[in-house]
Amino acid sequence: MKSENFETIAIRTQTERSLHKEHSAPIYLTSSYKFDDAEEMRALFANEKEGNVYSRYSNPNTSEFIEKMCLLEGAEDGFATATGMAAIFTTFGAFLKSGDHIVSSRSVFGSTHQLLTNVFSNWGVTFDYADLDKPQEWEDLIKPNTKMIFVETPSNPGIDIIDLEFLGDLAKKHSTLLVVDNCFATPYLQQPIQFGAHISIHSATKYIDGQGRVLGGIILGSKTLIAEVVGFARHSGPALSPFSAWVLSKSLETLAIRMDRHCENALKVAEYLEKHPKIKLVKYPFLPSHPQYAIAKKQMKQGGGIVTIVVDGGIEAARKFMDGLKMFSISANLADTRSIATHPATSTHSKLTEEQRNEVGIEQGSIRLSIGLEHINDILADIEQALA
C-alpha cells in the first residue's frame, strides 16, 4: 500500500525482508557482497545491473535510509554520508572547480565557514557572504562565474530566514545551483526542493537521529545531480556506516511525532520568554514579532525546536543564566531529546571576531536554547528559576 503521508512513509518504507522474515530491519554489517558468477560481477561493475558491490558505494541499510529521505523530502535520489560536514564537503567537491564562485549566507555552520575560508579558497574557489534579511544583496553578489548559491535557513544561531522561493527564482535566472542546508528544519518542516532548490543537505546527527547517538549526513536532489555526487563520493569515500544508517532509518520512524513536540515546546518557551522583563530579544520563526514571520509561515510547517534569546546584561548575565540552569545541559550540540543551552559567543562562534559575530546577530548576551522533549512544565520551571 503506497501512502502519501509523512508518518506512514517514514515507518513503512523498508528494505526487502531476508529469509528470516524479520519485522524490524536487520543490520547488514558487511563491507562487500559476492557475485553469482563472473558475468554478474562484470555486469554490476559496468552498471548494467543494479545491486550492491561494496559498502563504500551502497549497503541495504544505507539504501533504506536514502529511499525514506527521498520520499520524505520530495527528491529523486540521494547519497548518505558519515557526517553532515561530509555531506557539505562532498557537495562542494562534486560541483565546484577552480575558478568557481559561491554566494553563501553569512550565517553558516562554523565548519562550513572553515571549508569556505581555509579549504576551498586554497583550491581556487572564491565566495561572498550575503545576509538572510537583505534579499537584494544576493543578486548583487552574483558574478558570471557564480556556480552555487548556498544557504542555511533558519540560520544558526541567529534564527534568520530567507524566502526559498525567491532564491529558487534567482538561481534559475542566473543558472546557478541552489544548495540548502536544511538541518534545522528537517524534511518534516521544510522541503527546499519544492521551492526550486537543486540540492538539500542534512546533518542527520541533529533532529533526524534526534537522540544524540550517531553522526550522519545526506545529500538529496535530482537523479542527474546525485549521479555527479555519487561519482565524486564513491572514490573519495565519505559513505555512512551501515550501523549508523540503521539507527537513522529507525529514528525517522518517530521524526514527525518528535518534531511536533519539539515545536510545541519551543513555541511555548518563546512566548514565555518574550514577556519576561530580563530578556532583551527572542528569535523564533513562528512568533509574530519575528522579522520574517510571514516567510516562515509560507515555507515552514512549524517553527522548529530552536529558540535564540538575548538576555539583558551582556556576557555576565548570559553566563549567570546558563550556570543557573539545573536541568538543561550546557553543550555545543542541539536537536536532542534533552534541552540544551549554548553560549555561541564563547563556544560555537568563538573563532569569529566580535565584529563578525555582530554581523550574524550574535551578541555577548545571546543564548541558543535547543528545546527538548522533557515535560514542558519542567522546561519552563528550569528557565524561570535560572532567570530569577
Ligand X SMILES: *Cc1c(COP(=O)(O)O)cnc(C)c1O
State which residue, 205 or 339, has the beta carbon closest to ligand X: 205
For residue 210, the tally of other CB atoms under 10 A from its CB is 24
For residue 277, the tally of other CB atoms under 10 A from its CB is 7
Judged by CB under 6 A, the residue of 58, 107, 203, 244 near ligand X is 203
For residue 17, the tally of other CB atoms under 10 A from its CB is 11
* Radius of gyration for the alpha carbons in the chain, expressed in angstroms and rounded: 21
Residue 187 contacts ligand X per CB under 6 A = no
Letters for 27-66 (x = contact with ligand X by CB under 6 A, - = none) are ----------------------------------------
Give the chain's end-to-end CA distance (angstroms, integer).
54
Judged by CB under 6 A, the residue of 217, 303, 344, 365 near ligand X is 217
Give 344's DSSP letter.
G
CB 70 within 8 Å of CB 255: no
Single-letter residue type at 135: P
Judged by CB under 6 A, the residue of 55, 205, 249, 366 near ligand X is 205
- Looking only at residues 95 through 114 of this chain, which bind ligand X when binding is defined by CB under 6 A? 109
Dist. CA 214–CA 223, nearest whole Å: 27
Judged by CB under 6 A, the residue of 66, 130, 183, 340 near ligand X is 183
Residue 125 contacts ligand X per CB under 6 A = no
Q: Where are the beta strands (DSSP E) in 69-226?
A: 77-81, 101-105, 126-130, 146-152, 177-181, 199-203, 217-221
Letters for 133-172 (x = contact with ligand X by CB under 6 A, - = none) are -------------------x---x----------------
Residue 206 contacts ligand X per CB under 6 A = yes
State which residue, 182 or 302, has the beta carbon closest to ligand X: 182
Letters for 62-91 (x = contact with ligand X by CB under 6 A, - = none) are ---------------------xxx------
Min dist. Cβ of residue 157 to ligand X (A): 10
The residue range among 141-149, 203-211, 283-291, 376-384 that interacts with ligand X, by the rule CB under 6 A, is 203-211
Residue where the block lists cell 522583563 = 277
The residue range among 11-19, 115-123, 201-209, 358-366 that interacts with ligand X, by the rule CB under 6 A, is 201-209
Min dist. Cβ of residue 47 to ligand X (A): 30
Min dist. Cβ of residue 7 to ligand X (A): 24
Burial of residue 271 (CB within 10 Å: 0-12, 13-18, 19+) is: middle
Whether a cis peptide bond, with omega within 30° of 0, leads into 157 is yes
Whether a cis peptide bond, with omega within 30° of 0, leads into 154 is yes
Min dist. Cβ of residue 329 to ligand X (A): 16
Dist. CA 316–CA 245, nearest whole Å: 42
| Binding region for ligand X (CB under 6 A) | 83-85, 109, 152, 156, 181, 183, 203, 205-206, 215, 217
